[in-house]
């Protein structure tokens, strides 16, 4: 199925997709008809010109989406992840003679493109695709980043993109933010502010991570497609289950078909920190997410056990080391914020 579009309004695009699927958009939400697969997509436009598209779909037929070039300058930041029917991350083996500006949406990557360039996105059949796309106007990025950082980020990023299509993987911290938007409906007392906040946090993380990588002059850009795919598999396995101890370096080395030394060096270059530091940081982020989940009745001790701690004191100490406060203090802070939001 081919869909061509040149709209920079994702609500409008949602209606275009719905028409191709023979269905309708209701309250800016599209439910995939059963004869085409399953899942949902929703879109929202904001007064400042930003547009957001959120998808969690599994299609029974491949969808080829071609965004035509536009004379109006916009930037599109997207986060794509693919999963097999068993729930494992799906990885794309790149062809040596890949088509320029063609991207498979079950790549586990963050991608920035601009509206001047026609771009083709492939949503393969029978793969669960989770995707967030955000359209920004140039002025919004300049207001957020400042002129100097905007010029440096765009210049360096698109230069790297030409040389290396996999310059930014989706990591566990990205996933934590993405999951806060990946739901069929967001019910929040300050819904628009909540969504805008998450979008800006994603943009901030993208900009900061990329610029830090450039300043540190890491060697991740020297990795080939096969090495990047293997490192993504390692990262996925590393953060798959926090209830048990992380896999050993020896096991990860066998999975990645890399020596322990090369694995540790390349993982740090790609993800910005050593393997077990990455695991620890992200299990604390996961613990925070469980702790602050709306309507959660799970105790602090139970959450500690859910991220692999049998000793509550050890869990509390690790949590305070990461966030500067105890789990109980975090809960009190969240309750105060929630009360104030409802009172507005």
- 102 shares a domain with 20: yes
The percentage of the chain sitting over the pLDDT mark of 90, rounded to a whole number, equals 25
Domain boundary (216, 232, 260) is at 216
pLDDT at residue 309 greater than cutoff 70: yes
SS3 199: helix
Please give the residue that has the higher pLDDT: either 178 or 217: 178
- 257 shares a domain with 129: no
Average pLDDT over the chain reads: 82
State the pLDDT at residue 341. Answer: 44
For helices 249-256 and 225-238, the axis angle rounded to 10 degrees is 140
- 140 shares a domain with 187: yes
- 145 shares a domain with 47: yes
pLDDT at residue 114 greater than cutoff 70: yes
State the pLDDT at residue 339. Answer: 43
Q: Which residue pairs, CB below 8 angstroms and at least 24 apart, start in 212-216?
A: 212/272, 213/272, 214/156
- 206 shares a domain with 76: yes
* pLDDT tens by residue, 157-188: 777 666 665 567 888 888 888 888 888 888 77
Q: How many CA atoms lie less than 13 Å away from 283 in the CB half-sphere? A: 25
- 196 shares a domain with 101: yes
CA dihedral 16, 18, 19, 24 (to 10 degrees): -120
State the pLDDT at residue 109. Answer: 81
State the pLDDT at residue 196. Answer: 86
Q: How many CA atoms lie less than 13 Å away from 296 in the CB half-sphere? A: 16
Please give the residue that has the higher pLDDT: either 237 or 218: 237
**Pure H helices in the chain:** 10-21, 138-145, 147-163, 172-179, 191-216, 225-238, 249-256, 260-271, 275-292, 300-306, 312-323, 327-343
CA pair distance 1, 11, nearest whole angstrom: 20
The percentage of the chain sitting over the pLDDT mark of 70, rounded to a whole number, equals 87
> pTM of this prediction?
0.79
- 183 shares a domain with 82: yes
CA pair distance 19, 41, nearest whole angstrom: 14
State the pLDDT at residue 164. Answer: 60
Domain boundary (194, 216, 238) is at 216
- 76 shares a domain with 206: yes
Average pLDDT over residues 310-315: 91
- pLDDT band for position 40 (cuts 50, 70, 90): very high
- Pairing mode of beta strands 74-83, 2-5: unpaired
Domain region containing 86: 2-216
State the pLDDT at residue 98. Answer: 59
pLDDT at residue 327 greater than cutoff 80: yes
State the pLDDT at residue 107. Answer: 77
Q: How many CA atoms lie less than 13 Å away from 245 in the CB half-sphere? A: 4
pLDDT at residue 74 greater than cutoff 50: yes
- 93 shares a domain with 31: yes
CA pair distance 197, 192, nearest whole angstrom: 8
- Give 3-state DSSP helix, strand, coil % of the chain, rounded to 5: 45, 20, 35
Q: State both tokens at 198.
A: 């998450």
Highest mean pLDDT among 15-29, 136-150, 163-177, 184-198: 15-29
Alpha carbon separation from 113 to 157, 215, 228, 245, 270 (Å, rounded): 10, 22, 20, 38, 21
Domain boundary (216, 239, 274) is at 216
pLDDT at residue 95 greater than cutoff 60: no
State the pLDDT at residue 314. Answer: 93
- 248 shares a domain with 172: no
* pLDDT tens by residue, 226-253: 788 888 888 888 888 898 888 999 999 9
| Overall domain count for the chain | 2
Give the lowest-confidence range in 23-32, 59-68, 110-119, 329-338. Answer: 329-338
pLDDT at residue 342 greater than cutoff 60: no
Residue 261: CATH number of its domain: 1.10.10.60
Residue the block writes with tokens 């579009």: 5
* Torsion sign, CA atoms 96, 101, 102, 107: positive
Determine the longest span between alpha carbons in the chain, in angstroms: 59
Nearest to 129 by CA among 105, 93, 108: 105
CA pair distance 44, 27, nearest whole angstrom: 10
- 192 shares a domain with 231: no
- 152 shares a domain with 20: yes
Give the lowest-confidence range in 98-102, 233-237, 257-261, 324-328. Answer: 98-102
């Amino acid at each position: 199925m081919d869909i061509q579009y040149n709209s920079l309004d994702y609500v409008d695009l949602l209606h275009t997709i719905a028409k191709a699927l023979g269905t309708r958009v209701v309250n800016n939400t599209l439910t995939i008809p059963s004869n085409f697969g399953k899942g949902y997509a929703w879109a929202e436009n904001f007064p400042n010109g930003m547009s957001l598209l959120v998808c969690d779909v599994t299609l029974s037929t491949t969808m080829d989406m071609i965004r035509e070039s536009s004379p109006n300058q916009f930037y599109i930041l997207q986060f794509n992840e693919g999963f097999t029917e068993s729930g494992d991350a799906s990885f794309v083996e790149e062809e040596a003679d890949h088509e320029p500006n063609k991207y498979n949406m079950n790549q586990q990557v963050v991608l920035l493109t601009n509206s001047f360039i026609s771009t083709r996105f492939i949503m393969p059949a029978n793969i669960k695709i989770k995707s967030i796309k955000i359209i920004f106007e140039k002025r919004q990025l300049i207001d957020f980043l400042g002129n100097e950082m905007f010029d440096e980020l765009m210049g360096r990023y698109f230069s790297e993109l030409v040389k290396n299509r996999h310059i930014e993987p989706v990591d566990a911290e990205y996933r934590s933010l993405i999951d806060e938007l990946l739901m069929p409906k967001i019910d929040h007392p300050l819904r628009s502010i909540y969504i805008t906040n998450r979008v800006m946090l994603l943009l901030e993380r993208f900009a900061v991570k990329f610029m830090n990588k450039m300043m540190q002059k890491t060697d991740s850009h020297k990795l080939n497609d096969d090495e990047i795919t293997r490192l993504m598999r390692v990262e996925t396995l590393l953060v798959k289950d926090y209830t048990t101890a992380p896999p050993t370096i020896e096991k990860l080395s066998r999975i990645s078909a890399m020596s322990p030394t090369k694995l540790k060096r390349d993982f740090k270059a790609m993800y910005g920190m050593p393997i077990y530091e990455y695991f620890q940081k992200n299990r604390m982020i996961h613990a925070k997410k469980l702790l602050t989940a709306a309507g959660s009745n799970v105790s602090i001790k139970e959450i500690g056990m859910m991220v692999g701690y049998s000793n509550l004191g050890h869990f509390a100490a690790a949590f305070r080391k990461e966030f500067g406060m105890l789990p109980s203090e975090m809960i009190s802070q969240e309750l105060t914020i929630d009360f104030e939001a409802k009172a507005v």
